[in-house]
């Protein structure tokens, strides 16, 4: 098997703060071409740096199996979150983009989220014979950012080229306490809603000449905060609504402001849709004299336990001795888009250090994950078309 540690080091050493372009994709391409993959790279977005429309690079790689064979896809992202300060009491102990081994840990930004997993995928496919079926890589540079020109663009590309995976494994870091203890078979949906309350500015001593918007805003938020959306379902935890920002910007103590804004975030299960929740919030806002603007990030999805989850569990158990818990907890991922293409399950490394300073992966876990991924790919390609 290829040296997964070396592959991970190569990817970490190519800085790729979201939105990622360039060298990190060149590294992955250089790994895949010798394994028989045809690699397609393209960039979407033409806005200025720092905007939601900033250019994003994507990569789709495919190794065709025999005609009519199954198609198994690995998916993930090469972009990473900003590393933060380096050195000092609160900074990284080493350069986050200079991979460093200390003991049994490999340090570097993206070690677990998720360059380590992509390295394991590459090592895994080297162990799967080409005549077993078609394998592809669906890799974006915009998962940690707005996710506007990433996986959704890749889905459009695959549709245009006639590439339809039968199953997809996303390499997000799903494990909690040890490699293999959790896999994700679904995710809750996500919607952010921006609330506005308008009024008329005036002097606090003359309230009859003004219209204070803040009582409206407080009433809206109080009613929203008091909501119990549900108590959860068999596979999903209860939906939750959180107030995430309140902004007035009034620096004068004797002025009634002209407007106030707030933002809420709702993570919701399959009892709701983004549209139904948005309409509910908009109605509450309008009742109190305000308005609301929703931005739906994703709908809830569930890959029902069955043959796919069973083969993932069997592969994990064969290499680790434990059966993963099937879960829908956590935040969103690009699986929310890929689920429209084919059944999707997420499985990857331990997530304890993701997005943190001194992000690190246990080196033995890299090799074990590669073996797990190889088992999953082989089993997925051999699976009867019942999923």
Provide the annotated active-site residues: 79, 143
User: Contact 120/171 with Cβ under 8 angstroms?
Assistant: yes
**What's the per-residue H, E or C state across the chain?**
CCCHHHHHHHHHCCCCECCCCCHHHHHHHHHHHHHCCEEEEEEECCCCCCCCCCCEEEEEEEECCCCCCCEEEEEEECCECCCCCECCCCCECCCCCCCEEECCEEECCCCCCCHHHHHHHHHHHCCCCHHHCEEEEEEECCCCCCCCCCHHHHHHHHHHHCCCCCEEEECCCCECCCCCCEEECEECEEEEEEEEEECECEECCCHHHCECCHHHHHHHHHHHHCCCCCCCCCCCCCCEEEEEEEECCCCCCCEECCEEEEEEEEEECCCCCHHHHHHHHHHHHHHCCEEEEEEEEECCEECCCCHHHHHHHHHHHHHHCCCCEEECCCCCCCHHHHCCCCCEEECCCECCCCCCCCCEEEHHHHHHHHHHHHHHHHHHHHCCCCC
Residue set of the binding site for Zn(2+)? 77, 113, 144, 172, 355
Altogether, the residues listed in the chain come to a count of 387
Q: How far apart are the C-alpha atoms of 291 and 60, rounded to whole Å?
A: 41
Closest CA to 296 of 79, 148, 78, 123: 148
């Amino acid at each position: 098997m290829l040296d997964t540690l070396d592959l991970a080091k190569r990817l970490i050493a190519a800085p790729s703060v979201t939105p990622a372009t360039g060298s990190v994709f060149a590294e992955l391409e250089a790994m895949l071409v010798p394994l028989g993959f045809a690699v397609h790279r393209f960039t979407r977005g033409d806005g200025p740096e720092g905007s939601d429309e900033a250019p994003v690079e994507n990569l789709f790689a495919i190794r065709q199996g025999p005609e009519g064979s199954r198609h198994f896809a690995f998916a993930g992202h090469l972009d990473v979150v900003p590393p933060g300060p380096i050195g000092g009491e609160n900074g990284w102990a080493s350069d986050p983009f200079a991979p460093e081994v200390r003991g049994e840990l490999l340090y570097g930004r993206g070690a677990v989220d998720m360059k380590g997993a992509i390295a394991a995928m590459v090592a895994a496919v080297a162990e799967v014979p080409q005549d077993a079926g078609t394998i592809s890589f669906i890799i974006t540079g915009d998962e940690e950012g707005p996710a506007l020109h990433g996986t959704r663009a890749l889905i459009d590309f695959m549709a245009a080229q006639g590439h339809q995976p039968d199953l997809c494994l996303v390499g997000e870091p799903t494990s909690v306490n040890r490699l293999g203890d959790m896999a994700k078979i679904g995710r809750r949906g996500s919607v952010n809603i921006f609330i506005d309350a308008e009024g008329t500015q005036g002097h606090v001593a003359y309230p009859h000449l003004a219209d204070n918007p803040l009582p409206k805003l407080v009433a809206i938020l109080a009613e929203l905060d008091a909501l119990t959306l549900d108590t959860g379902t068999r596979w999903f935890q209860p939906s939750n609504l959180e107030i995430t920002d309140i902004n007035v910007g009034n620096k004068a103590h004797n002025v009634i402001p002209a407007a106030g804004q707030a933002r809420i975030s709702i993570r919701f299960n399959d009892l709701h849709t983004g549209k139904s929740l948005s309409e509910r919030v908009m109605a509450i806002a309008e009742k109190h004299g305000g308005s609301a603007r929703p931005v739906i990030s994703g709908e809830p999805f569930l890959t029902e336990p069955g043959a796919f989850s069973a083969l993932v569990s069997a592969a994990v158990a064969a290499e680790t001795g434990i059966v993963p818990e099937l879960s829908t907890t956590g935040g969103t991922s690009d699986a929310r888009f890929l689920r429209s293409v084919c059944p999707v399950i997420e499985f990857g490394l331990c997530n304890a250090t993701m997005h943190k300073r001194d992000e690190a992966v246990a080196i033995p876990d890299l090799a074990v994950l590669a073996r797990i991924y190889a088992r999953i790919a082989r089993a997925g390609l051999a699976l009867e078309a019942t999923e």
